[in-house]
Amino acid sequence: MMTHQLQVQSGMGEAVDHLIRKMHYKYIQRFRSCWVVDVEEVPNLSGKLAHPGTVPKNAQYVGLLSQIAGEAELKSLDAHLLVLLSGPEPQRSILSAILWEQVKEYKGRVVFVEGSTYAEQPPNIPPHLEYHQQVTSRELLPLMQQAWIVVCRSGYSTLMDLVALNKKAILIPTPGQTEQEYLGKHLHKEGVYYSVSQKRLNLEQALQDIKLFPFRPVELKEGHKQYVKVVEQWVKSL
């Protein structure tokens, strides 16, 4: 079994979270091993999601997993603000509409990735805006490498990509997704990524705020390579 959520966030308080964790662990312990997607030590990326205090006996931390781990950060004079949308409807479309109106007023270059092939291309796209319905992972890599800031959801896969490229980000958790809301608050408090709720999003204000935000890098050493040893050991045990 593979997960980054040993402690599921219910949004209903610690007592309910504790009860859910006990139930969750009963299922986890049916497996030979539980691969936890994060590093074991501090600092780490997931906070109490993967470090709830007590972990299952079969838990094994495998580090971070990213399709772009090992890719160098690409510096460019043409650096842009990257809007990278993802997630379920209708919240993806709601955030898209909010951000589209706000980036039209932005003075610099913007790359706007809808993250949906069903989205209709907006009319009258301003010259400073580069618009994509969706991009492949190969197309996304240089867009992330050249971005000076990424505006995105706080999904765990996205966060692991940001760490791999050492990118600054403004996180906007999906409303109602307690995992994303926890990660946004946790990483903002730790000074790693700036986070703001969707209903309070004001891009101009956020861009002013981040001038004083620390953006502490997540120093995970070999965190993106840790899984290799775990997989090798597992193969040998077969």
* CA dihedral over 85, 203, 192, 177, signed as positive or negative: negative
Query: For helices 156-165 and 137-146, what crossing angle results, to 10°?
Result: 60
Task: Give CA–CA dist 220/73, Å, rounded.
Answer: 16
Number of domains in the chain: 2
Return the pLDDT at 133: 95
Write down the pTM of the prediction. 0.92
220 three-state secondary structure: coil
Residues 130 and 55 grouped into a single domain: no
237 occurs within a structural domain: no
Residues 31 and 140 in one domain: no
Burial class (CB in 10 A: 0-12, 13-18, 19+), 170: buried
36-42 own/partner pairs: CB under 8 Å, 24+ apart: 36/3, 36/4, 36/6, 36/60, 36/61, 36/62, 37/2, 37/3, 37/4, 37/62, 37/63, 37/64, 37/65, 37/156, 37/160, 38/4, 38/63, 38/64, 39/63, 39/64, 39/220, 39/223, 39/226
Domain contains 215: no
**Using CA of residue 1, residue 57, residue 61, residue 158, what is the dihedral sign?**
positive
- Altogether, the residues listed in the chain come to a count of 238
73 located within any domain: no
User: Is 10 in the same domain as 47?
Assistant: yes
Residues 42 and 129 in one domain: no
| pLDDT given for residue 33 in this prediction | 93
Does any domain span residue 42?
Answer: yes
Tens-digit pLDDT string for the chain (238 aa): 999 999 988 888 888 988 999 999 999 999 999 999 999 998 999 999 999 989 999 999 999 999 887 665 666 656 899 999 999 999 999 999 999 999 999 999 999 999 999 999 999 999 999 999 999 988 999 999 999 999 999 999 999 999 999 999 999 999 999 999 999 999 999 999 999 999 999 999 999 999 999 999 888 767 888 999 999 988 998 8
pLDDT at 215: 97
The pair of three-digit structure tokens given for residue 81, joined into one six-digit string: 């603000």
Q: Phi, psi (5° rounding) for residue 2?
A: -125, 135
Q: Are residues 87 and 205 in the same domain?
A: yes
DSSP 237: H
**Which domain-ending residue is among 16, 37, 65?**
65
Could you list the residue range(s) of the whole structural domain that residue 35 is in?
2-65
Inside any domain, residue 236:
no
CATH of the domain at 117: 3.40.50.2000
Q: For residue 131, what are the β-bridge partners? A: 112
Q: Find where tokens 């999003």 sit.
A: 201
